Structure 1
């Protein structure tokens, strides 16, 4: 398995390449939601240029006019190769995969396969807000199993949630976020094996969102849920989207354990019509040829985590922060600052810095904000300075 305590790829740190003026020319959500005087450190977009192999693959496709419908298994094969080299996992079976438009739409399709209308879906708040939005829009019922005070899975709380979810009979699912957004927690093999055992005991089907899997730094080890004992009936979603900043090039992969192959085979054919062919090309190139760029990014993110820790200690010591081991997101506990349930609103109105409000992340989110640290050290420093100025 590859670990990246520091970058040895020879690639420049992608977080140090783009100027703020150049970034403000972008037209995506991050840069168009707020006025120009607001520094955006909120939605999960990175302030990076694309990896050159991705640019080359998409440009070559455009020159060829290769802009039709996606076909073949190149994406799954690239992910299987990446998983073997990166995580030491040889169990990703290409024949048990399907291309889906993106991770959350893939989650919806997986939940349709293993639950019905009104059935419960367990989640671990504070957690990615679309977990609530998509589950409820699907006419499923959210059951919360909050993380512990250490921001890790609590097996007793999880078991109680499984018990409540299945108490009346019927079907239930568990939507696992791994690595966890917003905390950056990397679940261990032991924790995931305990999840699998509980799921089998209570008949709960696990659907794992593993979109942040490539973004693990230092000595932490990402463990694919389908690799742990007892996870044979599990389903998972993976994508190169977060690791290589490809949200606008839509594509993801649904994966099934051996005991869930028949479930995945029931997914409607039309779901596979949603991914972008250019997205599949981009994601495949990232996984096959973009690992040096990824390693440089991970080293830069590790530097930014250390920088953020120091900046908070110096300028905002009232904020409690447990640095994550994955993602490029920081979960900040601002309750001691006395800013109410939504400190993000205060930082925006007084400091002109946009952060994600903790409230939509569910139980445990009030009084918190999520900060996107995938930017230059200069922008990150300015963001913290503005946050501190908002308290004066």
Structure 2
């Protein structure tokens, strides 16, 4: 095991387990106290002090009314320019209550009730639930065996979705949850070509965009980031990482797309809901028609928190990214020692590990690994089939945003439960 894996401490080691168990969110209250929760998308970290201060100051000032103004979109623009070389069109952006409710509103803009929405299982389970909530039909185009977008599957799904002249949309998860795959500019360009051919509108969930494991964001040169964002294969690459290690905003490659962004995942602010819808150059008119009433669902305190995080908490985020890189190395070492039958590919982005447990004898015999982990090991993971069946059968999603001790204990419990 590398020395930095064995001896290193990270931001995730800042909060003891007993302090985490005093939290009252779903992660710490859904299961009994003997269950180690490593499932839901909450990080085991102290919140950024600047965010705590901004929200506290707003409460003390009685600043608890309705959201107003472009502050959140402007903060996103500054963050995106520095991290991705992306010029966010602030004037064309719209605030929405959160990413998933924003997706519902985008689908209502670009499709009609009963229309198909193409998704890529295994994928974030609420995609299906919210598409159905919007009175649309989820249509699967599974990822390929390599965990990347399958263009042939998309081609076939787009053809079915638009048959009979119906409108259709493609709900893209970028970076992909649960695999952590980061789509490349070439892949997005191919998607855009297909979508344009069939008249399918692309709506992208980009909530995990800040959680990319590539080069240090503090040393990324602006030209290199901008070339990655615009898909230029020749400029700005220092050679530290490949092009696939950088986030490429969907709307810079697919002009008719609309993307949803939020600071909630990267800065652990799920309880303070808000998000920004960002149109591509050819989608501004669509987003301009968003009903004004949608803005009424945006939390002012959420917008205050997210604005502060994006403007003032880059160093905090870099500590999170360093911790996630450490935990990827730690998990690889732990699995090699305790559960060598497990397979996984360290993700390009997100704080999840998509564990392929199909070679474990009990799983090969038909057992669900997450169920065994919970019943035998008192370890809570996300069951693979909830991300899509059959694509997720034999898999489980584990949350890497945890302390060294928690991650070590989690793997020990998983190995014992599946042994």
Q: Using the alignment, how far apart are the partners of 2:13 and 2:375 within structure 1?
A: 28
2:393 maps to 1:366: yes
Whether 1:22 aligns to 2:19 is yes
8 Å Cα contact 1:124-1:144 kept in structure 2: yes
Write the mapping of 1:120-159 to structure 2, written as runs, cut at 5 A: 120-159=116-155
Please state whether the residue corresponding to 1:242 is helix, strand or coil: coil
Q: Distance in 2 between matches of 1:83 and 1:297?
A: 18
Structural mapping, 1:171-186, within 5 Å: 171-186=167-182
> What pairs with 1:254-269 in structure 2 (closer than 5 Å)?
254-269=277-292
Match of 2:406 in 1: 379
Whole-angstrom distance in 2 between the partners of 1:133 and 1:366: 19
1:54-133 aligned at under 5 Å gives the runs 54-90=51-87, 92-133=88-129
Cα distance in structure 2, aligned partners of 1:349 and 1:80: 46
Give structure 1 regions of 4+ aligned residues with deviation exceeding 2 angstroms.
Answer: 338-342
Partner of 1:346: 372
Structure 1 unpaired stretches of 5+: 1-5, 7-11
Does the aligned pair in 1 maintain the 2:10–2:403 contact within 8 Å?
no
Asked if 1:160 corresponds to 2:183, the answer is no
Residues of 2 paired with 1:203 and 1:391: CA distance? 47
SS of residue paired to 2:287: helix
1:139-165 alpha-carbon deviations (Å, 9 max, x no partner)? 211111111111111111111111121
Residues 204-224 of structure 1: per-residue CA shift (max 9 Å, x gap): 000000000000012410010
Count residues with an aligned counterpart: 379
Using the alignment, how far apart are the partners of 2:369 and 2:10 within structure 1? 31
In structure 1, C-alpha distance between the alignment counterparts of 2:337 and 2:415, rounded to whole Å: 10
Displacement, 1:13? 3.5
The aligned counterpart of 1:226 is 251
CA distance in 1, matches of 2:347, 2:153: 22
Answer whether contact 1:341 1:366 (CA < 8 A) is retained. no
SS of 1:336's equivalent in the other structure is coil
Q: What residue is the counterpart of 1:9 in the other structure? A: none
1:201-216 equivalence runs, <5 A? 201-216=197-212
- Alignment match, 2:225: none
Residue aligning to 2:352: 329
Give the equivalent residue in structure 2 for 1:286: 309
| Residue of structure 2 in register with 1:53 after alignment | 50
Give the TM-score normalised by structure 1.
0.95
For 1:306 and 1:59, the matched residues in 2 are separated by: 37
After TM superposition, give the deviation of residue 341 of structure 1 in Å.
5.3
Deviations 1:185-205 (A, max 9, x none): 000111111111111111000
Question: What's the CA shift for 1:168?
Answer: 2.1
Give yes or no for contact 1:178–1:208 (8 Å, CA) kept in 2.
yes
State the 1:313 CA deviation: 1.2
Give 1:27-46 correspondences, 5 Å limit: 27-46=24-43
> Please, which of 261, 275, 278 is the counterpart of residue 238 of structure 1?
261
Are residues 1:318 and 2:341 paired?
A: yes
Alpha-carbon deviation of 1:14?
Answer: 2.2
Kindly report the root-mean-square deviation, in angstroms, between the aligned alpha carbons of the 2 structures. Answer: 1.2
Q: Report if aligned partners of 1:341, 1:368 keep a CA contact under 8 Å in 2.
A: no
1:355 aligns with 2:355: no
Residue-by-residue CA offset, 1:212-237 (whole Å, 9 max, x unaligned) = 00000124100100111xx1111110
Distance in structure 1 (CA, Å) of the matches to 2:278 and 2:51 = 23
Distance 1:167 1:307 in 2: 48
Does the residue aligned with 2:408 lie in a helix, a strand or coil?
helix
- Alpha-carbon shift at residue 328 of structure 1 (Å): 0.2
Q: Which moved more, 1:354-363 or 1:17-26?
A: 354-363
* Counterpart position of 2:296: 273
Give the TM-score normalised by the residue count of structure 2: 0.89
What is the distance in 1 between the residues matched to 2:415 and 2:105? 43
> 2-side partners of 1:331 and 1:179: how far apart?
13
8 A Cα contact 1:96 1:257, kept in partner = no
Question: Secondary structure of 2:409's partner?
Answer: helix
